[in-house]
Amino acid sequence: MLHIYCPHCDEYREEEEFRPKGEAHIARPADPENTSDEDWGNYLFFRKNPRGLHHEQWFHSAGCRKFFNVTRDTVSYEILETYKPGQQPTVTAESRQAQASAQASNQGAAK
């Protein structure tokens, strides 16, 4: 059972109160009339399905009934952060990679 922090309710709640709602940060093409069929198809139908870090939308269906974003590791199920719609994630694939290489160079320096 996941314990999920709702940024609207400002509290951890049981997974049972939430519904996952797929990939986050999908931007609607600003100019649909001049968007290619391929780009429109990608916008409508194609979703990321990464192994590892993923930014998702979740819905607090039994609580405040608001959407929010979750950065989650799809392998370990670890939730790394939750944040409101309109905000950007602070934990990303790049930030994790930078952290890992910083740790590696620290270990190298210690030897």
Partner 1 sequence: MSEIATFNAHPTVAVRAESPLAFSRVTVATLASAQGAGVCIRERALLGHLILRGKADDAGFRAGVESALGVSLPLKMGPVSRDDGRGVSVQWMSPDEWLIVVPAGEDLATEQRLRAALSGHYAVMQVSGAQTLLELSGPNALEVLKKSAGYDFHPRNFPVGKGISTTLAKSTAVIRRTGDTQWELIIRRSFADYLFRWLLDASEEYGVFVAR
Number of residues that bind partner 1 (CB under 8 A): 13
CA 59 from chain centre, in angstroms, equals: 13
Asked if 21 touches partner 1 (CB under 8 A), the answer is no
- The residue within the footprint of Zn ion, chosen from 4, 55, 58, 60 (CB under 5 A), is 60
Contacts 24+ apart (CB under 8 A), 25-33: 25/55, 25/69
Asked if 79 touches partner 1 (CB under 8 A), the answer is no
Binding to Zn ion (CB under 5 A): which residues in 6-45? 6, 8-9
Q: Which spans of this chain sit near partner 1 (rule: CB under 8 A)?
A: 8-11, 13-14, 16-17, 62-66
